[in-house]
Amino acid sequence: MVKKNYFLIFFIVFLSTFSLLKIFNNVVNLDTYEYGEWLINYQSGFIRRGLSGEIIFQLSRLFDGNLQLTYFIILSVICLIFYRLNYILLKNIKFNFFTILILFSPLLYFFFILINGVGIRKEILLFLFYLWYLISISSKSFSENSLWKFIFIFPVLLFIHEGIFFYLPYIFVPILLIKKKEEFKNFIPHFSVLIFVSILSMIILYFFKGSERNAFEICQSLKTFEPIGCLERGPIFALKNSLLKDQANNSMLFFYLDASFTSWLGYLTYVIYSFIPLILLFKFAEIKNKLTYILIYFLIIIFSLPLFHVAEDWSRWFSIHIHLTVFLLFFLQNKKMIRYKIIRNSKKINDFFMNKKVLLLLLLFIYCTFLHHEEYFSKDTKLEFTYYKILSDIN
């Protein structure tokens, strides 16, 4: 009989509860960014990012046109499926101090519930898709033909948010790592179709990127359920502007070069701080050709750089990288392709914290909440100490 991992069960239930509360709060307050992003629809005609909103709009007919209720039900179901798939992926992992630490990275699960303006955004569909993909690959019944459904589902996600395109390489990596060299040729047709259809989808979306009329008619279609400030700010309002224009219609070309040294230093500190568990895991990992893994990851990051150039939500983009990387690492651990060799001082650290549960939980809580940075990067953003920020806001 398999022993239940009560820590993991508690962790998943905790995250699920707070995520649902976050969704409920966004619904009640008609949040401009989190709630509004999902409600972009096709009521003004075909437009980028409109698929999710059109689905919510059409399903709302089942609830007398109540978009708030429909949104809450759909997002709650998506959220619960996401955490269920996380549990399936993680349930057989043998946790140590360093693998537990990664679960508390500020840019991983807690990013959803701790940072204002994030919440359950559209990237959760990419996470859900990738978890399903990895779990399917792990199945004994997986075959080359099983891959086709994922090849055609991924481009559909682009019609919900085109930014997902810049994480396309993560689809190739699991097959690249677990299959023998002579088997690679069998997957060339799959990945060729994936690349072609994805690029074609991006071209289509570019020509339907939006206009002032689209933004106005979408807000009108939502009636009393439109997000606060629908025509003044937020994702729907942003459809009226050209690419590389902010919501004040000012140029965003090389916007990151306007940031001060303090902003850059603070942001890089936040990102490195969030990646520390990944760096430690890679240090202790027993894998062949570590340099190959580093090169692959470097190329993945390079592929996503255009997204950082055209949009300010840098913490979200890095959060997506961390999520997909962590899922991939646990997948490889389940496949026995990665093992962790913890010796000497690191073993003492591991044994100490694994035997001091209360102290471990306190450390993990402090780690994931200590630093605070907005989900976007611009010349005005700065890194803050969370507890000092809370005290300042109270005063």
**Tokens 């933004």, located at residue:** 215
Best CA proximity match to 204, nearest among 152, 158, 136: 158
pLDDT at 1: 39
Give the whole-angstrom CA distance, residue 183 versus residue 185: 6
Question: What residues of the chain score a pLDDT lower than 70?
Answer: 1-4, 117, 248, 395
pLDDT at 4: 67
Give the whole-angstrom CA distance, residue 264 versus residue 3: 46
Please answer whether residues 271 and 377 qualify as being in contact, where contact means their C-beta atoms are separated by less than 8 angstroms: no
Give the whole-angstrom CA distance, residue 119 versus residue 381: 19
pLDDT at 23: 93
pLDDT at 338: 82
pTM: 0.93
pLDDT at 7: 86
What are the counts of helices (DSSP H) followed by strands (DSSP E) for the chain?
Answer: 18, 4
CA distances from 267 to 35, 176, 218, 315, 320 (A): 26, 32, 35, 9, 16
